[in-house]
Amino acid sequence: MSTTPPNVYIGTDSGATTSKTGGVWSDGTPISLQLRQSSTNSQLGTTAVVAGWVEGVEGFLSDNKLTWAQVQGVGLAIPGPYLRYGVLDRTANLPASFAGWDFAADYGAALSAKAGRPIPLVVGNDGNYGGVGEAARVRGNRKATVLMLAPGSGLGAAYIGPDGLPLEGDTLAGMEAGHMPAPLHLLGGIRPFSCGCGRDWGCVEAYTTISGLPQLLAEFLPKYPGHEVATSKAPIKEKVLSLRTRAQKGDPLAVDIFNFQARALGLHIANLTIALDAEIVVIGGGLMDPGATTEEFRTRFLAAVRAAAEPYLFKVQRERLQIVPATLGDLSQAIGAALVALYSAQNR
C-alpha cells in the first residue's frame, strides 16, 4: 500500500551576509529546528545570491530526506525597502547595484527550473515574516493578534492579524514602527537623538536599540563621573557593547540605561496597542536571548516594559495584554516565510 509523501513549505531568510533555510509541514509545524545556513554572497551579484538561495533549499530538503515533489510553496524574507512587490529599492546593507532588482521574478524562475514545475513564491520584509513565525508560536490555535518588537541593531517591528499574516501597508512599508517619533516629553526631557535612517527628530529606534547606545551613554555618563567607562580609553563600540554584560552584573550606569530603554519601549508599545489593539506583544532581539542574557535580566526588562506601558492603556487592554519573550530566535524569519507560503496556499 503506497502513501503520498507529505507536502512541505520552505522559507528562505536572506540577510545581508547570511542566508538561512527552514520549512514547515502542511499543518504549520516546523520540519526541523535546525536551520540550513550559507553565505549570501551579495558581493558576487544577484545571480550568485539566487543560486545560493536555491542551494539552501536543496540542502535543507536533502538534510531532512525530502524531495522537490513535496514542495508546494516557498517564502522569501528579505530586508526592504522595496520599490514595489518583489523589487528592491536602495538597501543599506546590500550593494547599490541591487536597487531595482526584481528578486521575486528571478527566485521564482530559479525555483521552478529546479523543481521542473511552477513553485508558488511569496516575498516580504524579514521583520514582518519573523513576526509571523513568533505569532504562530505564542498564540497557538487562538486568533489573537500579535505585535512583535525586536530591538537589536535596529528595531524590527511587525503586526500579525488574526489570519496569521503581517500588516504590510500600501507601499510595503507598514509597521516600520522603529521610525515613529519617541514621546520625548515622557522620557524625562531627553534630547532628540539622530537615527540611522537619517532623521534627527528622535526615532524610537534610537532610544531602544544598540544603534542608540552611544548617544544614551553620552547622556547618562555625566551622572556617573567616576565610572570606569568614563575614564576608559577603549573605542566607543567596545564601551557600548560592554553595557549588557555590565547590567547583568548590577552595574548602576548600565542598569540605568537599560531601564531607560525598557521605559521607551513600553511607551512605544502603549502607542501601538492603542492603534492596533493587539492582545500579545512579543519582545525579540538579543536582550531576550537566553544564551546572551540571564533570566533575571530578561524578567526585569519585561517588567519595566510593562510598567511603562500600562498607565496609557485602556482598562481591558491592561487586563488582557500579554508581553512575552520571543522563542524562535534565528529560526523566526525562515519559519515565518514558510508559514506565509502555507497560508497563501490555503487562501488561494
Q: For the ranges 139-143, 223-227, 321-325, which has the lowest average pLDDT?
A: 139-143
Confidence bin at 50 (pLDDT 50/70/90): very high
CB burial readout 11-43, b (16+ within 10 A) else e = bbbbbeeebbbbbbeeeeebbeeebbeeebebe
C-alpha cell belonging to residue 96: 547599490
DSSP secondary-structure letter at 181?
Answer: B
The letter for the amino acid at 283 is: I
The pLDDT tens digits of the residues spanning 264-317 come to 999 999 999 999 999 999 999 999 999 899 999 999 999 999 999 999 999 999
Mean pLDDT of 66-71: 97
C-alpha cell belonging to residue 27: 499543518
Domains, the chain, ranges and CATH?
Answer: 8-124 (3.30.420.40), 140-327 (3.30.420.40)
Over 90: is that where the pLDDT of 228 sits? Answer: yes
Confidence bin at 141 (pLDDT 50/70/90): confident
Helix (H) or strand (E) holding 136: helix 126-139
Over 90: is that where the pLDDT of 15 sits? Answer: no
User: Which pLDDT score, from 0 to 100, does residue 196 have?
Assistant: 87
What are the C-alpha distances in Å from 210 to residues 180, 188, 192, 233? 17, 20, 16, 20
Nearest to 334, CA basis, from 87, 67, 86, 34 = 34
C-alpha cell belonging to residue 135: 505569532
Mean pLDDT value across the chain: 94
List Cβ neighbours of 285 (8 Å cut-off, separation of 6 or more). Answer: 149, 150, 151, 152, 156, 209, 326
User: Which pLDDT score, from 0 to 100, does residue 44 have?
Assistant: 94
Confidence bin at 227 (pLDDT 50/70/90): very high
Confidence bin at 91 (pLDDT 50/70/90): confident
Nearest to 85, CA basis, from 163, 15, 170 = 170
Mean pLDDT of 229-250: 95
Residue 150, beta-bridge partner list: 156
C-alpha cell belonging to residue 163: 489570519
Q: Identify whether the C-beta of residue 116 lies closer than 8 Å to the C-beta of residue 318.
A: no
Mean pLDDT of 178-193: 94
User: Which pLDDT score, from 0 to 100, does residue 93 have?
Assistant: 76
Confidence bin at 259 (pLDDT 50/70/90): very high
Over 60: is that where the pLDDT of 2 sits? Answer: no
> Cα–Cα distance between 338 and 57 in angstroms, integer?
12
User: Which pLDDT score, from 0 to 100, does residue 97 have?
Assistant: 94
Confidence bin at 193 (pLDDT 50/70/90): very high
User: Which pLDDT score, from 0 to 100, does residue 120 have?
Assistant: 98
Angle between helices 103-115 and 46-63 (to 10 degrees): 40
Residue 14, beta-bridge partner list: 19
DSSP 6-65: PPEEEEEEE-SSEEEEEEEETTS-BS-S--EEEE--GGG-HHHHHHHHHHHHHHHHHHTT
Mean pLDDT of 237-257: 96
User: Which pLDDT score, from 0 to 100, does residue 348 have?
Assistant: 77
